[in-house]
A and B are shown apart, each in its own frame.
Chain A
Amino acid sequence: MLVTISQAIVGSIDLMAAFLLMFGLWRMSSPVTAPSGILVAGIGMLAAILASFLYVFSVAAAARSHLPMNIGLAGGALVLGVGVAWWGGRKVAITAMPQAVALFNGMGGGAAASIAAVELFGLKTHGAIPLTVTLLGALIGSISLSGSIIAWAKLDALLKKPLHLRGLQVFNGVVLLVALCVGGYIVLTTSTALTQVLPVPQLIEIFFGISLMYGVLMTLPIGGADMPVVISVYNAFTGLAVGLEGFVLQNPALMIAGMLVGAAGLLLTMLMAKAMNRSVAKILFMSIGPGAKRKRSAIKGSLKPVQASDAGIFMRYAKSVIICPGYGLAVSQGQGKLYDFVKLLQAAGVSVKFAIHPVAGRMPGQMDVLLAEAGVPYDLIVQLADINEEFKTTDVALVIGANDTVNPEARTDKTSPIFGMPILNADQAKKCYVIKRGNGNGYAGIVNPLFYADNTYMVYGDASAVCVAMAEAIRGLGAPAAAA
């Protein structure tokens, strides 16, 4: 009786939770409704977690004697995990958001892989199909765990350079193949009377070892600018792993939530790849290596450095300015200083907009969040497709810490690694200022002809410091005169 009632309650609450999670994501379609959306999803999640303790009434007979201990462990793990992650999530800087998301995503993958491990080591799944699904979830979850950790280390600048080794791609393919073979062998040897070469637990250990290794190997060669794609892919992977383990545990809420995220991750991955004009497979398996670097092609013109104060004053007397921020702005944490400068321009009657490239930064939409943190109203932030025509009629394009996303070579040079990638048309503005730390090339290692163009001027320095200098120059002019 108690079992039936508890199952009915858990079932209904999980059903409601699945609905609320979907509805929460549905409300993310506008910045106005999104904050309530995450709240709605949070309520559903909280209910599902609390209800899951009702499983105590329906545990297997063998586990009944361990129940007090298990409840204690579950409560302890929950409190510890929630406490640490909540504290971390509250404290992490907005500029470090890609790292945080990668880390939390890896945790989800790890949890899915751990559940699969319990199922496998405890020999709890019977039949070829559930076993295959468990193994698949274990594989994807493990890849997501170790891959996300590497992605986190790269984003946090603990790992500086992408690894380029001859034949790494082939080696990775072999590793994945071995993992699949071991998994297939586990299915065969447990569901048929095939002779065992190794005891099954050892095979499972090997399987997890190889899967984790593959996640590391797959992520190591991928460079920083491809991170938006990588994070999306691992997000989809974790979702998929959660969905698969949901099937194994016969929990439809897990299946729905997992698949929802899987679809979301897939869609974002494809959007990012499209914005880079590269296929997902190429980004993941064919990184732009040193071999892709070409000879410096002949570029007309020269670099023309100017002082930050001159640039600031010029923009003060311009009619319209479009700002193209890139990862360099995030690195220097200059978003607040930039908005101070923008407010001065606006007070002087200058029309200012922000143009966002889909892959600017290290995760999809990172620049939008960065500007939002500084207090920039989101109606000043315009996406690439909606603003690109406006550059032609704009007085000044201000490029801050961006490079490849404004490289006109992508339009014209067929041999360029970024050929075909849609770019911000900063070169079409009447004048272009580029704030840059030094003369280095972009991530893709390509010289940017924009910097040498006749109407482009370079402002060297840290983005944050340059913004302060430009703002001071405008303040130095005194109160803004009444503009016409």
Chain B
Amino acid sequence: MTIKSKLILSLIFFGIIALVVAVTLIVTLRQVNELDARDTTADKLLAEARDLSQLSNGYIFFHEKRHVVQWESKYNSMASLLAQLRVDQRQQEILIDNLAENQKLLKTIFNDVKATVEKSPLSTQHGGTLEFLQLSWSRLSVQTLGMILDASQLADLIRQERRAVEYHAVILIIAIIGVLIVFILVNYLFIYWRVLRSVATLREGTKIIGSGNLDYRIEEISRDEIGDLARAFNQMNVNLATVLASKEDLDREVAARRRTEDELRTTLADLERSNKELEQFAYVASHDLQEPLRMVSSYTQLLAERYENQLDEKAKKFINYAVDGAVRMQQLIHDLLVFSRVTTRGAAFETADSQAALGMAVANLGEAIHESGTVVTNDELPRIIADQTQLAQVFQNLISNAIKFRGRGQPRIHVSVEEEDRHWLFSVKDNGIGIDSRHKDKIFVIFQRLHTREEYPGTGIGLALCQRIIQRHGGEIWFNSKPGEGSSFYFTLPKRTEEGNGDEP
């Protein structure tokens, strides 16, 4: 049972007790009032009984008419008092009945006396009459005396009854109050003891939980509010343990991520170092590899020059092969360097004018364009976010290829662009010899060639370089072609914002 319902029950109990006390008091007061009234009536009865006795005597002795009138008045008032009086004790009822009986008897005797007196006035009374009157007087005296005794006894009884009622009421009230006091004391002590004990258990429990022992459960102390509090504490403990457990999971997760991050950082550092090493390698290649090549080519040439007269045609041809090999080797090394520098030496992605990039490419190829009679046309090209120099390199390589692999007619090259959702789609179309689609994978591989050097010179770096530049920009490059019908090279450049500069692949 909860403390709240206990308190409510106590209150109801107090209310009932108070009601009982009030009702008892009211009932008692009414009883006492009633008994007071009866007491007064009883006293009156006694007085009237005495008056009747005196009036009877007076009439017998003096025969005065007024005694008769007074006697009858008294008699009537006494009769009406007797009729009014209501009692609840058998003994009192008997007394009242006796009084009523005796009154009637008294009246019969008094009426006989009255008749006798009226027949023979005082002066004419003889011996017989006197005797009768004497006898009547005795009878009246006895009768009234009995009535007086009865009335006085009735009054006594009523008074006794009143006192008893008063006494019982007082006893009852004292008893009720006593019970009340005992109940309050017991109730108070019980609640006090239970609450204090529960609170003490609770305090101990919270102290243990507070010290970090989340597995601790407070014992079931009671089924009241403090018990609820204890259960809430236990639930809180369970929840707290769950929260702590998920926090531990989270901590583990964070630690794992931190480890991954560290590994990433290490990998990044490794990558940067290997990039630097690659750069160093490229530099070494450009200088130190070329030096011996130069020696080979220079001294074979010097040999051919200085000993021209002593060498036959075959020897000169061999020397030419040696020199040609060295020159090509040097070109390959140079191309490899250019290829490796796409990522290591690329500029930041900034606003670039693709029109200007195309212009640069066309200007660099001026001689080849002029000699081959090539016509280069283009759509209006947009400003984009890119490395403009590298974009120019792409245009230059694609146009240069288109010129190199031209068909029989006048070479025509058209550069166009389409804006799409996420990128710009550039295309370079020519009317050259075209490419067999079988070679679509080979064509972008570095130093991969589809023709002999005798047919078309070059190391085979151009398209590999284009692909590397486009990939650095996050785009793609591909082509559509049929042999004899020209080729179309397409490449995409993602739309970027200036802030996106850092996200190089």
To the question of whether A and B form a pair in one complex, the answer is no
Q: B residues engaging A (CB < 8 A)?
A: none
Q: A residues engaging B (CB < 8 A)?
A: none
